[in-house]
């Protein structure tokens, strides 16, 4: 069962990357809009230098993949590399296919943004990534959390990165592209938020277990996180413990592996907008 789920996760990442590349190459770029994040940076470089778009995507994203391997682990890197490779190959393929949507630019861009958001949602929900800005934001949050002992949302880092991308588009391309690209960002992130429950926000994991010491040790070793422990009692299981831990969206797959390795444990995950101290 677990092996089947693993294969499906890779299949959904491939499908999501194909959807994203289709949207960018055949809908967004022909309608004066660009993708956001590091894909947006790659498109800007492509427009300024004339280098192949897929080549620009690989060159821009490669440093982030390496950083992801160092800070986020092997499994994440494999999925991020797969998604990025399929995305780049899809751009190369779709650029040579004649396709046209006979409608207003605004409607075409909104439609393209929705397809892009749906594709990215599939990738994110299955533990992958095709945007280096998300890796960068996660690394920043992880470093701050390790240094201060506090939990931070990725939202400020993502907003700051994309603001720089759109300001660059405004000055080096034109205002129309900047405004259309901003529309892509809003539509895509609305779709992503709907299907991933605000992936950039802090996640609270509540774990019910009778093996609290084993889970706490694994969380400390694999995530460098700590937990709040509460005594609890189940109507059938009897005495147990409730653990509460705060992590990022990209750390959820590791947390799932930790919990599944300890039989008799189960958990819930909720989104936390803000932690007051």
Confidence of residue 22 (pLDDT cuts 50, 70, 90): very high
What share of the chain has pLDDT > 70, as a percent? 96
Q: What digits encode the pLDDT tens for the residues 55-76?
A: 999 999 999 888 888 877 788 8
Position 17 scores a pLDDT of: 93
Position 2 scores a pLDDT of: 63
Q: What digits encode the pLDDT tens for the residues 99-154?
A: 777 777 788 889 999 999 999 999 988 888 888 888 888 888 888 877 777 777 78
Arithmetic mean of pLDDT, 154-183? 87
Arithmetic mean of pLDDT, 89-96? 90
Query: What is the number of other CB atoms lying within 10 angstroms of the CB of residue 186?
Result: 13
Q: Which of 31-35, 41-45, 127-131 has the largest mean confidence?
A: 41-45
Asked if the model's pLDDT at residue 80 lies above 80, the reply is yes
Are the C-beta atoms of 82 and 128 separated by less than 8 Å? yes
The model's pTM is 0.83
What tokens appear for 170 in the block? 């405004």
Whole-angstrom distance, CA of residue 85 vs CA of residue 146? 31
Arithmetic mean of pLDDT, 16-39? 90
Whole-angstrom distance, CA of residue 65 vs CA of residue 85? 11
Q: What is the 3-state secondary structure (H, E, C) of 198-233?
A: CCCCEEEEEEEECCHHHHHHHHHHHHCCCCEEEEEE
Domains of the chain: residue spans and CATH: 2-196 (no CATH), 202-272 (3.30.70.120)
Mean pLDDT taken over the chain = 85
Are the C-beta atoms of 69 and 77 separated by less than 8 Å? yes
Arithmetic mean of pLDDT, 78-101? 87
Confidence of residue 250 (pLDDT cuts 50, 70, 90): confident
Q: Give the residue, 29 or 239, on which the prediction is more confident.
A: 29
Angle at 136 between CA 190 and CA 62, to 5 degrees: 105
């Amino acid at each position: 069962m677990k092996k089947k789920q693993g294969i499906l996760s890779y299949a959904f990442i491939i499908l999501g990357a194909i959807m994203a590349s289709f949207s960018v190459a055949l809908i967004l770029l022909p309608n004066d809009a660009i993708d956001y994040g590091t894909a947006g940076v790659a498109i800007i470089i492509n427009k300024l230098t004339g280098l192949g778009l897929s080549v620009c995507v690989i060159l821009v994203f490669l440093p982030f993949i390496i950083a992801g391997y160092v800070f986020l682990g092997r499994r994440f890197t494999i999925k991020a590399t797969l998604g990025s490779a399929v995305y780049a190959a899809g751009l190369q393929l779709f650029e040579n296919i004649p396709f046209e949507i006979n409608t207003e630019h605004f409607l075409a861009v909104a439609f393209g943004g929705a397809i892009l958001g749906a594709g990215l949602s599939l990738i994110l929900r299955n533990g992958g990534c095709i945007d280096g800005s998300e890796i960068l934001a996660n690394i920043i949050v992880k470093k701050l959390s390790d240094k201060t002992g506090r939990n931070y949302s990725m939202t400020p880092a993502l907003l700051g990165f994309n603001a720089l991308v759109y300001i660059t588009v405004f000055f080096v391309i034109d205002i129309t592209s900047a405004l259309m690209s901003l529309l892509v960002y809003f539509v895509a992130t609305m779709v992503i938020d709907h299907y991933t429950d605000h992936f950039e926000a802090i996640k609270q994991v509540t774990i019910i277990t009778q093996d609290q010491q084993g889970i706490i040790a694994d969380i400390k070793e694999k995530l460098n996180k700590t937990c709040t422990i509460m005594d609890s009692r189940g109507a059938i299981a009897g005495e147990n413990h409730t653990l509460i831990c705060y992590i990022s969206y990209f750390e959820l797959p590791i947390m799932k592996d930790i919990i599944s390795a300890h039989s008799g444990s189960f958990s819930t995950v909720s989104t936390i907008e803000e932690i007051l101290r």
